[in-house]
Amino acid sequence: MSPPPRSDPPGASLPDSPAPPADVDPSQLQEITGGEAEIMHDIVEEFASTADDLVAAIGASLTTRDARAAKRAAHTLKGSGGIIGAEGLRVRCVAIERAAAAGDLASVAAQLPALEEQRTTTLARLRELVAAAKKG
């Protein structure tokens, strides 16, 4: 008899890669913007652009076998995500940063798809928050 399918998010079974907490803590974005919808919009769109660039940089670092570049990009994305309350993304970045610091690019590569998926989920959630602020 085979074991039941896993319900863990991708990458959760990797060392130092816990399942992420709630994707986004809305109170962080509210706090740094004062709830101003236009400021929220600007911050979220700047974060989206930066997140896309940093995730791409992590991918590029795998091609060039540059663990330091992967670590630096993951560290930067972790900080940016933390500031706006992107907890799920931040947690994934911690795991990638640790793997890159250890020179374990195989682990970084294994975790990259989960990071990309988390980025997509996080950006959608942040944009939902902006839309709600514009309505309310």
Domains of the chain: 26-135 (1.20.120)
pLDDT tens readout for residues 82-115: 999 999 999 999 999 999 999 999 999 999 999 9
* Alpha-carbon span 53 to 77, nearest angstrom: 10
Give the largest Cα separation in the chain, rounded: 55
Cβ within 8 Å of residue 114, ≥6 positions away: 9, 10, 11, 12, 17, 92
Prediction pTM value:
0.82
Do residues 119 and 51 lie in contact, with contact meaning Cβ atoms separated by under 8 Å? yes
Q: How confident is the model at residue 3 (pLDDT cuts 50, 70, 90)?
A: very low
Residue 10 pLDDT greater than 50, yes or no = no
pLDDT tens readout for residues 31-84: 999 999 999 999 999 999 999 999 999 999 999 999 999 999 999 999 999 999
Which residue is listed with tokens 């990797």?
14
| Residue 14 phi, psi (nearest 5) | -75, 150
* Alpha-carbon span 52 to 77, nearest angstrom: 10
